[in-house]
């Protein structure tokens, strides 16, 4: 049984009903920029307990809360896809009942240690308080609860009390694969996770930089999953190191959690020159250099002393930016083809939709500190990449573009006189992903949708092949870790139901 907390109200915390009127939003501090760019250690700190209680007290206990709605409206998220019981969690934190708050969080979220670090906090975008004031610091509270759980030995294995006698293979150990494996195991199924890399975690391990998610956090969770009875097979790429026939001979069901892996290409002259790299390859190389002393990856992926150009303005582009700064790049610029978002919600982006507003992320803040200016250039695209006689990148030609309406269509047009050529030694393409890799899909002859993802029924996870299921980015397309966790859990429930229905034992 988990340890219980003794309620301890901080002396300066006012009543729950009025705290949102007396306290403003206070976010957890980050390590000083000049300090943190010297290493790859996590930069986000945990708030003091008294401050956390004040922040939790700001939760208004609203009658109809949207923070845990878990909905998508017109392609925009509303609330937490995991349906975390956020008002209840906040109330327990306010009362100083931290162990109970962690247990309440763990009921819906299998891995708070991941989401508390790298989730964009969709819940905060739909916080009722956020309609007229800065929202509750829900993500910081979640991060605190994970740290509290670690310090008080609450992160313990919880193996299932009984086994069904059935076996399920989960292909891929990213967030959807881990969530699916965890849920299946808790339901009594015997689970083996097949991972093609040398370490488990998928993009959590090699796609998310260490300064956002320490790799020891992932390995600690893997150790708990193993203690709960889940088997992990590493360097086990299905279709190569592991034959497909082996899966169907030895398992009652197979779940594909391979994610999106085919990056959107930079389609301009010179895009194949040496020094043009794709974000995940670059980030993977950087992480391997930190984890393996003997690893000697390609030097062209080291930003040290180079003029770096990043194509893409999302989270991955920002991670590339922060990594290049830590590798001591000479300069860095980040191109985004879209116009800069507004500073406040636009009329067509009302609460409780996720706010599409301008945010300056940690890597951009670091670039401002180091180089004295914001690295982002909006409405800018690469036209051409130039190289030297040895095929190495030396420059990039860009131009600014504007989107204009022509009838019912938006047309992208170049701004006259905006063309510019600038030095570049390393170009990192961070334009997202198109679809999952096709070899396994083709080998299984699975149906795909018009985007190349594995086709499943609306709201379901079964594929066109009996006893084969798919979840996460592999079926929904590139998305967020919290959606992957949600899909993994839901898929596991569907697999368990399928096995029960067919009386497989």
Domain check: are 129 and 198 in the same one? no
Same domain, 349 and 283: yes
The pLDDT value given to residue 293? 84
| pTM, entire model | 0.94
> Within this chain, do residues 42 and 117 fall inside the same structural domain, yes or no?
yes
Question: Does residue 85 contact residue 104 with C-beta atoms inside 8 Å?
Answer: yes
- 422 within a domain of the structure (yes/no): yes
Grouping H, G, I as helix, E, B as strand and the rest as coil, residue 296 is: coil
**275 and 419 together in one domain:** yes
In a domain, 64, yes or no: yes
CATH of residue 317's domain is 3.50.50.60
- Are residue 293 and residue 204 in the same domain, yes or no? no
- DSSP sequence for 344-399: S--TTS-TTSPP------HHHHHHHHHHSS--EEETEEEEEEEE-TTSBEEEEEEE
Do 164 and 505 form a contact (C-beta atoms < 8 A)? yes
- For residues 188 and 315, membership in a common domain is answered with no
Domain that holds residue 71: 19-151
pLDDT tens digits, the chain, 505 residues: what are they?
445 565 554 445 555 667 777 889 999 999 999 999 999 999 999 999 999 999 999 998 788 899 988 888 888 889 999 999 999 999 999 999 999 999 999 999 999 999 999 999 999 999 999 988 999 999 999 999 999 999 999 999 999 999 999 999 999 999 999 999 999 999 999 999 999 999 999 999 999 999 999 999 999 999 999 999 999 999 999 999 999 999 999 999 999 999 998 999 999 999 999 999 999 999 999 999 999 988 887 878 999 999 999 999 999 999 999 999 999 999 999 999 999 999 999 999 999 999 999 999 999 999 999 999 999 999 999 999 999 999 999 999 999 998 887 877 888 899 999 999 999 999 999 999 999 998 999 999 999 999 999 999 999 999 999 999 999 999 999 999 999 999 999 999 999 999 999 876 5
Structure tokens at 134: 């800065």
Q: How many domains does the chain have?
A: 3
- Tell me the CATH number at 41: 1.10.1060.10
Judge whether 438 lies within some domain: yes
Angle, in degrees to the nearest 10, between helices 279-291 and 315-326: 40
- Cα distances from 36 to residues 45, 115, 386, in angstroms, run 12, 21, 34
Question: Looking at the structure, do residues 24 and 142 belong to the same domain, yes or no?
Answer: yes
Q: Are residues 289 and 310 in the same domain?
A: yes
| Assigned domain for 5 exists | no
Q: Is 413 helix (H, G, I), strand (E, B) or coil?
A: strand
């Amino acid at each position: 049984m988990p340890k219980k907390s003794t309620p301890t109200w901080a002396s300066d915390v006012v009543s729950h009903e009025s705290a949102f009127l007396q306290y403003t939003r206070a976010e957890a501090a980050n390590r000083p920029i000049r300090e943190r760019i010297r290493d790859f250690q996590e930069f986000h700190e945990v708030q003091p307990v008294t401050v956390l209680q004040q922040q939790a007290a700001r939760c208004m206990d609203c009658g109809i809360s949207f923070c845990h709605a878990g909905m998508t409206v017109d392609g925009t998220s509303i609330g937490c896809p995991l349906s975390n019981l956020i008002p209840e969690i906040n109330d327990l934190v306010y009362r100083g009942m931290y162990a109970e708050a962690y247990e309440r969080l763990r009921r819906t979220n299998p891995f708070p240690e991941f989401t508390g670090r790298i989730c964009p906090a969709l819940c905060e975008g739909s916080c009722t308080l956020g309609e007229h004031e800065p929202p509750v610091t829900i993500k910081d509270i979640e991060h605190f609860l994970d740290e509290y759980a670690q310090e008080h030995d609450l992160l313990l294995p919880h193996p299932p009390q009984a086994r069904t006698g059935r076996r399920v293979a989960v292909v891929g150990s990213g967030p959807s694969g881990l969530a699916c494996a965890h849920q299946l195991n808790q339901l009594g199924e015997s689970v083996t996770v097949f991972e093609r890399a040398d370490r488990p975690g998928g993009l959590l391990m090699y796609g998310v930089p260490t300064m956002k998610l320490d790799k020891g956090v992932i390995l600690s969770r893997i150790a708990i999953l193993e203690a709960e009875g889940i088997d992990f097979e590493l360097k086990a790429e299905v279709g190569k190191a592991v034959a497909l026939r082996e899966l169907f001979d030895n398992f009652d069901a197979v779940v594909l959690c391979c994610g999106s892996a085919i990056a959107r290409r930079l389609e301009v002259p010179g895009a194949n020159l040496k020094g043009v790299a794709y974000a995940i390859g670059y980030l993977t190389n950087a992480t391997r250099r930190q984890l393996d002393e003997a690893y000697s990856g390609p030097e062209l992926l080291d930003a040290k002393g180079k003029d770096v150009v990043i194509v893409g303005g999302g989270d991955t582009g920002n991670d590339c930016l922060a990594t290049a700064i830590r590798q001591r790049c000479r300069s860095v610029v980040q191109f985004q083809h879209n116009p800069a978002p507004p500073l406040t919600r636009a009329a067509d982006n009302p609460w409780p939709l996720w706010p599409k507003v301008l945010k300056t992320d940690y890597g951009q803040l670091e670039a401002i500190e180091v180089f004295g200016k914001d690295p982002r250039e909006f409405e800018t695209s690469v036209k051409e990449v130039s190289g030297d006689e040895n095929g190495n990148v030396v420059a990039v030609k860009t131009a600014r573009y504007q989107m204009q309406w022509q009838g019912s269509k938006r047309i992208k047009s170049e701004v006259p006189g905006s063309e510019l050529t600038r030095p570049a030694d390393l170009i990192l393409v961070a334009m997202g992903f198109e679809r999952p890799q096709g070899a396994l899909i083709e080998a299984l002859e699975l149906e795909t949708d018009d985007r190349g993802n594995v086709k499943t029924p609306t709201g379901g996870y079964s594929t066109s092949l009996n006893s084969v299921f798919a979840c996460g980015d592999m079926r929904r397309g590139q998305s967020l870790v919290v959606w992957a966790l949600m899909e993994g859990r839901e898929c596991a429930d569907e697999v368990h139901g399928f096995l029960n229905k067919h009386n497989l034992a």
